[in-house]
Structure 1
Amino acid sequence: MQVCAPPDFVELLGGIDIPLAPLGQPSPVMATAAVTGTTADRPTKNLSVCVARMVAATYDSVAAAAAGCDVVVTTGQIPAAAAARAVAEKLGVPYVFVAHSPTYLPSPHHPPPAWPGCPHPPEVTDNRVLWELNGAHLNALFGEGVNTHRAAIGLPPVDDIRAHVLTGRPWLVSDATLSPWLRPADLDVVQTGAWIRPDDRPLPAELDAFLKAGTPPVYVGFGSMPVRDAHGTARAAVEAIRAQGRRVVIGRGRADPAVTDGQGDCFAVGEANLQALFPRVAAVMHHGDAGTTTAAALAGVPQVVVPQMTDQPYWASRVVDLGIGAAHEGPRPTYESLWVALRTALNPGTRARADAVAVTIRTDGTTVAGKLLRDTVGRAGTTGSAPGAFRSASWCNSL
């Protein structure tokens, strides 16, 4: 097995002895570009040339990693996934596209994610029409660049970039309770369940001691996601949590000394095992990515979601629909707005509902996916380094 991913994934993979083929920029850099739209690398002229170069660079990295493989599995943005599919075509092996949220897959039941700088027309409310506009937009953005690269490596052009990347049978790797795939829909989606990496790391001794020293705190963390006005958001969160009579555990990326202010009720933590931490807190405040939402739901802990972009508003809405927490309206919270959201999350009824939902979350998503991959390889009749071996190319940059 070989993984192509941003270079900062090396630490994540180190504990499970899987080699990493670095691809693109570190994920925090790409997340910052997606949220702020201020990266110097964002192309504003000669877009097709920039896309073609991006696809070529991704293709080269994935092709080198995928040599001798039986199947190529990819997730991420359209140009990267198009490059991964080109690798599969050249190698003559199956290709699988993976989505971590239903919102990335066309359906009459939800609109497509709005691209930065390209909001949905306010007068259009029909989801099918919005998906048609989305397809046309992706073709305009990426079609020429993707096809320029395909021609350069001897592959025919494609007319519909989104359909080409997603295929008619994409995989949805999210839990069916948290994010059900609603039918009827145009795609034959295979929902495997969430891919949850087992994590048996102990919590840092200092954090464990803090947790034991008082009532369960509220955890605040936004992962690698840059939050608008990060300092102000962290300060508002700490003050709102304290106003609820709770202690605080805050992800160190958002916690400078001015935020934690040295008081004994606030603990700053770096990288930690969230599977071990979340069951010991009173609530989790986060940005609403698929992984954190699933981890909190599995722990049976109420959530406050402050969505920033892409599929995060969807996960926030699911938390509300399931009654397992609260969603903040918009990406810029205040003390007052977080206080209101926390009041909902810390209500005993919310905790009871979170406990009830937790027992419905399945943890066998990777087992299901592994069997599907073996079946896919068997049907294709491919040969590679080992039965069922695969390379996963994941790149999350945003144009």
Structure 2
Amino acid sequence: MRVLLSTYGSRGDVEPVAGFGAALRARGAEVRVCAPPDEDFARRLGEAGVEFVPYGPSAKALTKAAPAPSSLPERAAQLIAAQFDVVAAAAEGCDVVVATGLLPTMAGALSIAEKLGIRSVAVALQKVVLPSPHHAPLAYPGKPFPAGVTDNLALWEHDAENVNALFREGLNTHRVANGLPPVGDVRGYVFRNPVWLATDPVLDPWEPAPGIDVVQTGAWIVPDERPLPAALEEFLAAGEPPVYVGFGSMPMAAAADVAQVAVEAVRARGRRVVVSRGWADLDLLDDGDDCFVVGEVNHQELFGRVAAVVHHGGAGTTMTATRAGAAQVVVPQATDQPYWAG
């Protein structure tokens, strides 16, 4: 079987695809992954042993640029255009397309599968993006929900309107240009039954909801066998377990202040600290021997050897820290992170 996995977003959107791709390869499938062209993603997908097909702009550069919310429809349309160029070519000869990541790029990947006449499935990486009376939707930047509306189903109706206002024109432009009929409800098109939910049922339990059929697969994880850098091993061995501080793919405005506050707070508790640079390029502000800065390292190994993990609340970091049995302090920044903090 030949499988195309399509995603666009931050590391939290790419890492699960690497895990699923590695599992498929182990079962004899040919796997190709379409994802942003960032070097970190190319390396991670290479380690997973899957073919990498880059498309669209750098996710890291886009995140750090912090574009205005008003540009979201234009940026989504550009990504969909790139998909019909690059992803469509990559999907030729495949038996199935698996789409995850940002909603408009999921719609683009599913449209490509429709054009090619091959099977497809949409995958959610957190339940809060799936319509349900049991939880409220996430608001899009620049598209707040009406004040005073608290009923979840009413909020999901507003969410569908917002999704269509943001993404429908750009999606349908490329669908019609490729001989496909326009869609009226973008979110409904993406989350057709059945939908896969690739999260742990203990951390993210799905309650059955009317109108949507969800198959919870469990979280998609790449076993990480990489050793920690020698200098980090020496730091860990030199004292009590430190506190890890990192914010993953978050750009973190005023990064120097964030690093200073984090280090001072941990020091005030008499603990050493490991600071992860992440996409915010956090760094140490002094040369104290109680602090250590790391780049991309094996979190599965590191989190089992720290006193606590202070992080942004990304789904992947939350899962890794939980599996390691580490205490967590979540400082949410955006999207689904307040949910994981709760």
| TM-score bracket for the superposition, by shorter chain length | 0.7 to 0.9
Name the SS for the 1:43 alignment partner. Answer: helix
1:127-276 matched pairs, under 5 angstroms: 127-253=152-278, 254-258=281-285, 261-276=286-301
Q: 1:30 to 1:98 in 2, by over 3 A?
A: farther
**In 1, distance between residues paired with 2:186 and 2:133?**
19
Counterpart for residue 96 of structure 1: 121
Q: 1:125 to 1:234 in 2, by over 3 A?
A: same
**1:335-391, CA deviations, whole angstroms, 9 ceiling, x for partnerless residues?**
xxxxxxxxxxxxxxxxxxxxxxxxxxxxxxxxxxxxxxxxxxxxxxxxxxxxxxxxx
Contact 1:99 1:170 (C-alpha < 8 Å) held by counterparts? yes
Q: Does 1:295 align with 2:315?
A: no
**In 1, distance between residues paired with 2:112 and 2:79?**
14
Q: 1:18 to 1:51 in 2, by over 3 A?
A: closer
Name the SS for the 2:123 alignment partner. Answer: strand
**1:319-343, CA deviations, whole angstroms, 9 ceiling, x for partnerless residues?**
xxxxxxxxxxxxxxxxxxxxxxxxx
- Identity across the alignment (%): 56
What is the deviation of 1:26? 2.0
Contact 1:50 1:145 (C-alpha < 8 Å) held by counterparts? no
Counterpart for residue 5 of structure 1: 35
**In 1, distance between residues paired with 2:75 and 2:293?**
40
Q: Does 1:57 align with 2:89?
A: no
Match of 2:101 among 70, 76, 89: 76
**1:123-180, CA deviations, whole angstroms, 9 ceiling, x for partnerless residues?**
1000100000000111112112211211111111111110101212211101011010
**Paired AA for residue 296 in structure 1:** A
**Paired AA for residue 332 in structure 2:** P
**Paired AA for residue 234 in structure 2:** A
What is the deviation of 1:280? 0.1
Contact 1:199 1:275 (C-alpha < 8 Å) held by counterparts? yes
**In 2, distance between residues paired with 1:32 and 1:171?**
30
Name the SS for the 1:31 alignment partner. Answer: helix
Contact 1:28 1:225 (C-alpha < 8 Å) held by counterparts? no
Contact 2:245 2:311 (C-alpha < 8 Å) held by counterparts? yes
**In 2, distance between residues paired with 1:54 and 1:278?**
35
Counterpart for residue 87 of structure 1: 112
Counterpart for residue 350 of structure 1: none
**In 2, distance between residues paired with 1:132 and 1:193?**
28
TM-score, normalised relative to structure 2: 0.86
What is the deviation of 1:186? 2.9
**Paired AA for residue 268 in structure 2:** A
- How many residues of Structure 1 are paired with residues of Structure 2 in the alignment? 308
Q: 1:79 to 1:285 in 2, by over 3 A?
A: same
Q: 1:93 to 1:207 in 2, by over 3 A?
A: same
Match of 1:304 among 325, 329, 334: 329
**In 1, distance between residues paired with 2:272 and 2:75?**
48
1:14-25 matched pairs, under 5 angstroms: 14-25=46-57
**1:193-235, CA deviations, whole angstroms, 9 ceiling, x for partnerless residues?**
0001011000000101110110000001111211232221211
**Paired AA for residue 226 in structure 2:** R
What is the deviation of 1:58? 1.4
**Paired AA for residue 3 in structure 1:** V
Unaligned runs of 5+ in 1: 318-399
Q: 1:51 to 1:204 in 2, by over 3 A?
A: closer
Q: 1:98 to 1:236 in 2, by over 3 A?
A: same
Unaligned runs of 5+ in 2: 1-30
Counterpart for residue 121 of structure 1: 146
Name the SS for the 2:212 alignment partner. Answer: coil
Name the SS for the 1:7 alignment partner. Answer: coil
